[in-house]
Amino acid sequence: MLEKGGNVFRARWARAASRGMPRNGKTGEPYRGANVLLLWDAAIEHGYASNVWLTYKQASSVGAQVRKGERATVCVHFERQARGDLEAVGAATVQDHEEEEGGTGRRLRRGDFLLARPFWVFNVAQIDGLPSEIVERGMGAISPSPHGSVERSLRLIGGCEANVRYGYERAMYLPALDEIRLPWPARFTSAEAHCATALHELVHWTGHASRLNRTFGRRFGDAAYAFEELVAELGCAFVMGHCGLIDATVEGHAAYLEAWLKVLRNDRTAIFTAARHASAAFEFIVAREMPLLDPLGHH
């Protein structure tokens, strides 16, 4: 998807985000990391209106049936394994102890590794006989916020209490000062573009040593800066989907596409790393969302 160009993958992610973050239809839990990208892309490819998914076993357990001939979408689940178990898992994809575990910030014990196991899910559109509560969960995932995407974005930005300063020529995050700098809001093409750009910088802000402590220098070397931009691109897409910022554009950023592609071609597991960190940043930001308040005078 990245190789098709920036306009293509950003448009696809924006369209997919309009369906909400992918969730499991039975548990209600959101999917994370690279699974978000896999399920978003499948939803766009096949024209599914909902981003709610179940395994075949889960569908059967609620009395539903996957229609004959429907094809599942593959996802990946990571399990921590001891190095001594490596021979037992054969040629399965692994990541070594230098990787963080599942975006939680906990380091793997030396000698451990992450084992990637595939699993398969079906969209609710591929399943007959689902209970009404699961179908409604799918519809709820794509209901727009009654208070608008800009208002929800501002509740995220305000809830994080980041140091944001206005009046600069371009948007940036300065780790040394732990400060986000933005042009005046009137300089953006729209309120939605202002919010999208601020959210992109807010994803960078989560990587500070006092928060998620995101560093890539040892693994990616000179490409570490570009890789952090990929994390911010993915994380911002996740947050924009959460807010309903579907057609907004992140303004004033250089194109890192070729640098991303070079990293991803050289390291087949890099996309898992980027998506995992993006999910961690997304969850960090959303957990600090300011609550809606009752209107003044309402009791």
Residue given tokens 């209970």 in the structure block:
131
CA separation for the pair 195, 158 (Å, rounded): 12
Q: What is the pLDDT of residue 65?
A: 97
Q: What is the pLDDT of residue 91?
A: 44
| pLDDT (tens place) for every residue of the chain, 299 residues total | 778 776 677 777 767 776 778 999 999 898 998 899 899 889 988 999 888 999 999 999 999 999 999 999 999 998 888 766 555 555 444 444 334 333 334 455 666 777 889 999 999 999 999 998 888 876 655 445 556 889 999 999 999 999 999 999 999 999 999 999 999 999 999 999 999 999 999 999 999 999 999 998 778 887 888 899 999 989 998 898 888 887 788 887 666 788 888 888 888 888 889 999 999 999 999 999 998 877 666 55
Q: What is the pLDDT of residue 203?
A: 97
Helical (H) or strand (E) element with 203: helix 191-206
- Rounded to 5 degrees, φ, ψ at 73 are -105, 130
Contact by Cβ (8 Å): 195, 145: no
CA separation for the pair 235, 240 (Å, rounded): 9
Helical (H) or strand (E) element with 115: strand 112-123
Q: What is the pLDDT of residue 110?
A: 61
